[in-house]
Protein backbone atom coordinates (compact mmCIF):
# COMPACT_ATOMS: atom_id res chain seq x y z
CA UNK A 1 0.00 0.00 0.00
CA UNK A 2 1.17 3.53 -0.76
CA UNK A 3 1.91 6.24 1.78
CA UNK A 4 -1.11 8.28 2.86
CA UNK A 5 -0.73 12.04 3.30
CA UNK A 6 -1.83 13.10 6.81
CA UNK A 7 -3.59 16.29 7.83
CA UNK A 8 -2.11 18.20 10.74
CA UNK A 9 -5.15 18.77 12.91
CA UNK A 10 -6.46 17.12 16.07
CA UNK A 11 -8.48 14.01 15.39
CA UNK A 12 -9.66 10.84 17.00
CA UNK A 13 -8.30 7.47 18.01
CA UNK A 14 -9.33 4.30 16.18
CA UNK A 15 -9.77 1.12 18.21
CA UNK A 16 -9.21 -2.31 16.64
CA UNK A 17 -9.92 -5.49 18.60
CA UNK A 18 -7.98 -8.72 18.15
CA UNK A 19 -9.55 -11.22 20.54
CA UNK A 20 -9.34 -14.96 19.91
CA UNK A 21 -7.32 -17.43 17.87
CA UNK A 22 -5.62 -15.81 14.87
CA UNK A 23 -6.77 -17.26 11.55
CA UNK A 24 -6.57 -16.13 7.92
CA UNK A 25 -10.26 -15.29 7.46
CA UNK A 26 -13.78 -15.93 8.77
CA UNK A 27 -13.92 -19.25 6.94
CA UNK A 28 -10.80 -20.65 8.62
CA UNK A 29 -11.27 -23.50 11.04
CA UNK A 30 -9.23 -25.84 13.14
CA UNK A 31 -8.49 -23.60 16.11
CA UNK A 32 -9.98 -24.30 19.51
CA UNK A 33 -13.23 -25.92 18.42
CA UNK A 34 -15.13 -22.68 18.07
CA UNK A 35 -15.14 -19.49 20.07
CA UNK A 36 -13.70 -16.15 19.18
CA UNK A 37 -11.34 -15.77 16.26
CA UNK A 38 -9.17 -12.97 14.93
CA UNK A 39 -9.73 -13.01 11.18
CA UNK A 40 -6.51 -11.49 9.80
CA UNK A 41 -8.20 -10.25 6.64
CA UNK A 42 -10.73 -8.26 8.68
CA UNK A 43 -8.29 -6.92 11.28
CA UNK A 44 -5.71 -5.88 8.67
CA UNK A 45 -8.45 -4.26 6.58
CA UNK A 46 -9.69 -2.33 9.63
CA UNK A 47 -6.16 -1.02 10.22
CA UNK A 48 -5.70 -0.04 6.55
CA UNK A 49 -9.10 1.73 6.52
CA UNK A 50 -8.24 3.57 9.72
CA UNK A 51 -4.95 4.78 8.23
CA UNK A 52 -6.88 6.19 5.24
CA UNK A 53 -9.29 8.05 7.57
CA UNK A 54 -7.75 11.53 7.82
CA UNK A 55 -9.55 12.24 11.11
CA UNK A 56 -7.78 9.40 12.94
CA UNK A 57 -4.48 10.29 14.62
CA UNK A 58 -3.66 6.98 16.31
CA UNK A 59 -4.80 3.37 16.62
CA UNK A 60 -5.26 1.37 19.78
CA UNK A 61 -4.93 -2.33 19.03
CA UNK A 62 -6.41 -4.45 21.83
CA UNK A 63 -4.80 -7.91 21.78
CA UNK A 64 -6.22 -10.85 23.71
CA UNK A 65 -5.11 -13.89 21.75
CA UNK A 66 -3.37 -17.19 22.39
CA UNK A 67 -1.92 -16.96 18.86
CA UNK A 68 -2.69 -19.03 15.81
CA UNK A 69 -1.62 -18.98 12.20
CA UNK A 70 1.86 -17.51 11.60
CA UNK A 71 0.85 -16.33 8.14
CA UNK A 72 -2.29 -14.64 9.44
CA UNK A 73 -0.32 -13.01 12.27
CA UNK A 74 2.17 -11.66 9.73
CA UNK A 75 -0.71 -10.16 7.71
CA UNK A 76 -1.78 -8.15 10.75
CA UNK A 77 1.80 -7.21 11.72
CA UNK A 78 2.35 -5.76 8.23
CA UNK A 79 -0.80 -3.67 8.56
CA UNK A 80 0.55 -2.30 11.86
CA UNK A 81 3.85 -1.54 10.15
CA UNK A 82 1.95 0.25 7.35
CA UNK A 83 0.12 2.43 9.88
CA UNK A 84 3.35 3.46 11.57
CA UNK A 85 5.05 4.20 8.24
CA UNK A 86 2.13 6.53 7.51
CA UNK A 87 2.65 8.45 10.76
CA UNK A 88 -0.27 6.78 12.56
CA UNK A 89 1.04 5.51 15.90
CA UNK A 90 -0.22 2.10 16.99
CA UNK A 91 -0.52 1.51 20.72
CA UNK A 92 -1.10 -2.08 21.77
CA UNK A 93 -3.08 -2.88 24.88
CA UNK A 94 -2.54 -6.53 25.83
CA UNK A 95 -5.28 -8.40 27.61
CA UNK A 96 -4.82 -11.50 29.76
CA UNK A 97 -3.16 -13.44 26.90
CA UNK A 98 -0.91 -12.30 24.06
CA UNK A 99 0.84 -15.49 23.12
CA UNK A 100 2.65 -16.47 19.96
CA UNK A 101 0.88 -14.61 17.15
CA UNK A 102 -0.64 -12.28 19.75
CA UNK A 103 2.74 -10.83 20.61
CA UNK A 104 3.87 -11.03 16.98
CA UNK A 105 1.14 -8.63 15.83
CA UNK A 106 2.21 -6.29 18.66
CA UNK A 107 5.94 -6.49 17.93
CA UNK A 108 6.18 -3.39 15.69
CA UNK A 109 3.78 -1.22 17.69
CA UNK A 110 4.76 2.28 18.70
CA UNK A 111 4.11 1.37 22.32
CA UNK A 112 2.89 -1.73 24.17
CA UNK A 113 1.01 -1.88 27.46
CA UNK A 114 0.51 -5.16 29.30
CA UNK A 115 -0.92 -6.10 32.65
CA UNK A 116 1.53 -7.63 35.15
CA UNK A 117 -0.22 -11.00 34.79
CA UNK A 118 -0.48 -10.95 30.98
CA UNK A 119 0.73 -14.26 29.54
CA UNK A 120 2.98 -13.45 26.62
Q: What is the DSSP string of the chain?
A: -PPPPPP-S--EEEEEEEESEEESSTT---STTSS-EEEHHHHHHHHHHHHH-TTEEEEEEEEEE--B-HHHHHHHHHHHHHHHHTT--EEEEEEEEE-THHHHHHTT-SEEE--TT-B-
pLDDT, tens digit (0-9, with 9 covering 90-100), for 86-108? 999 999 999 999 999 999 999 99
pLDDT, tens digit (0-9, with 9 covering 90-100), for 61-77? 999 999 999 999 999 99
Mean pLDDT of 21-48: 82
Amino acid sequence: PKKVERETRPGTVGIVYAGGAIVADDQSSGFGGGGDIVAANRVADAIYRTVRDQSVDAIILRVNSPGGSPTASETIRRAVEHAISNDVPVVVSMGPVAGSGGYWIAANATQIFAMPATLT
